[in-house]
C-alpha cells in the first residue's frame, strides 16, 4: 500500500524543484528524489542536481534521516521523439502553434507516469512537482488541470491512489523565492542561487544575483524577474 506521508520529488536541480524538495521535507515524513535523463542537449542540470543534493544534505543535516534515495531514470530516447531546442537544434524561435521552441511535448506526462511506477515500487503515495501555471512559458503539461487528469490516469491505469502535489502551481516566481526563504532561510536561498540550474542554454559561467545563467533565455528572465521582485520587497 502506498504511504501518503512518503513523497517522491521530481527533482531536476532547477530552482523550482529545489524549493519543492525543502517543501516536501517539511510536509512529508520520508522523501526521495527522482531525476530524468531525457536526451537534453547539455547535461548541466544532471550534474548540478547531484551537487545540490550533496550540499543540501550537509547544510540541513537535521533533515538527513528523512531524505532517502535519489533515483536517476534513463529516458534518453524520448528526446529524439519529442524534439525541442532543449533536445536538439531548433530552426525557429517559436513553433507554429505559438509554443516556445523549448517546449518538449509530453515531457511532464512521461516524467509523472515514470515517477508513479517508482512510487508504486517504493510505497510512496505522493509525487511532488514544481509545475507552475503562473509565471511560466505556457507549457500545457504544467497546468493543474493536467495534473488532475494524470492523477486520474494513474488511478485508472495503474490501480494506484497516488496524489500529485504542486505547491508552486499558483505562485509567482517572486513568491517561490519567498517560499524558499520561509523554508530554509538565507542559507537555502544562497544554495539555490549557487547550486541550482534553470538556464536553457546550460550557462554555468555567468553568476548573477539570482544564480548562474545566460540572462536572456525565458528561464533566466523569469528567474531574475522573480528574484528581483522578492529581493526588492524583502
CA atoms in the 13 A half-sphere facing the CB of 228 = 7
Residue found by looking up cell 509565471 in the block: 135
pLDDT band at residue 52 using 50, 70 and 90 as cut-offs: very high
CATH label of the domain that carries residue 103: 3.40.50.620
Q: For residue 41, what is the DSSP state?
A: S
Please report whether residue 195 resides in a domain: no
Please give the residue range of the domain that contains residue 64: 3-171
Q: Please, are residues 215 and 208 in contact by the beta-carbon 8 Å criterion?
A: yes
CA 98 to chain centre: 23
Please report whether residue 132 resides in a domain: yes
Residue 138 has pLDDT above 80, yes or no: no
Residue found by looking up cell 537555502 in the block: 188
Tell me the whole-structure pTM to 2 decimals.
0.90
Please report whether residue 186 resides in a domain: no
> Would you state the torsion angle of the CA atoms of residues 91, 96, 101, 106, taken in this order, to the nearest 10 degrees?
-130
d(CA 154, CA 131): 18
Model confidence over 66-93: pLDDT tens digits? 999 999 999 887 666 666 555 555 544 4
Cβ atoms within 10 Å, residue 142: 22
Residues 6+ apart with CB under 8 A from 79: 38, 39, 40, 86, 87, 88, 104
Q: How many domains would you assign to the chain?
A: 1
pLDDT band at residue 13 using 50, 70 and 90 as cut-offs: very high
Model confidence over 155-173: pLDDT tens digits? 999 999 999 999 999 999 9
Cβ-in-10-Å burial (0-12, 13-18, 19+) of 181 comes to middle
Residue found by looking up cell 544534505 in the block: 57
Model confidence over 176-205: pLDDT tens digits? 999 999 999 999 999 999 999 999 888 999
Please report whether residue 119 resides in a domain: yes
Q: Give the chain's mean pLDDT.
A: 89
Cβ atoms within 10 Å, residue 213: 24
3-state per-residue secondary structure call for 62-130: HHHHHEEEEEEEECCCHHHHCCCCCCCCCCCCECCCCCECCCCCCHHHHHHHHHHHHHHHHCEEEEECC
User: Which residues sit opposite 126 in a β-bridge?
Assistant: 7, 163
Residue 122 has pLDDT above 80, yes or no: yes
Average pLDDT over residues 206-211: 97
Residue 111 has pLDDT above 90, yes or no: yes
Q: Which three cell numbers stand for residue 201?
A: 542554454
Please report whether residue 218 resides in a domain: no
Please report whether residue 55 resides in a domain: yes
pLDDT on residue 191 = 98
Q: Which three cell numbers stand for residue 187?
A: 542559507
Amino acid at each position: 500500500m502506498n504511504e501518503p506521508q512518503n513523497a517522491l520529488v521530481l527533482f531536476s536541480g532547477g530552482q523550482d524543484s529545489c524549493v519543492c524538495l525543502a517543501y516536501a521535507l517539511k510536509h512529508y515524513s520520508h522523501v526521495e528524489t527522482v531525476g530524468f535523463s531525457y536526451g537534453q542537449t547539455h547535461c548541466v542540470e544532471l550534474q548540478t542536481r547531484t551537487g545540490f543534493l550533496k550540499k543540501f544534505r550537509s547544510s540541513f543535516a537535521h533533515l538527513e534521516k528523512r531524505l532517502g534515495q535519489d533515483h536517476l531514470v534513463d529516458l534518453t530516447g524520448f528526446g529524439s521523439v519529442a524534439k525541442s531546442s532543449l533536445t536538439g537544434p531548433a530552426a525557429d524561435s517559436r513553433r507554429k502553434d505559438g509554443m516556445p521552441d523549448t517546449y518538449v511535448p509530453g515531457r511532464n506526462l512521461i516524467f509523472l507516469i515514470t515517477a508513479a511506477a517508482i512510487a508504486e515500487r517504493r510505497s510512496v503515495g505522493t509525487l511532488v512537482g514544481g509545475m507552475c501555471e503562473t509565471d511560466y512559458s505556457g507549457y500545457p503539461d504544467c497546468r493543474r488541470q493536467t495534473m488532475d487528469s494524470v492523477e486520474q490516469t494513474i488511478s485508472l491505469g495503474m490501480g494506484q491512489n497516488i496524489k500529485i502535489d504542486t505547491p508552486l502551481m499558483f505562485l509567482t516566481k517572486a513568491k517561490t523565492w519567498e517560499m524558499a526563504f520561509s523554508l530554509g532561510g538565507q542559507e537555502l536561498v544562497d544554495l539555490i542561487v549557487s547550486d541550482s540550474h534553470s538556464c536553457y542554454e546550460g550557462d554555468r559561467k555567468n553568476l548573477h544575483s539570482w544564480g548562474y545563467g545566460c540572462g536572456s533565455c525565458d528561464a533566466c528572465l523569469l528567474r531574475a524577474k522573480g528574484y528581483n521582485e522578492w529581493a526588492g520587497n524583502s
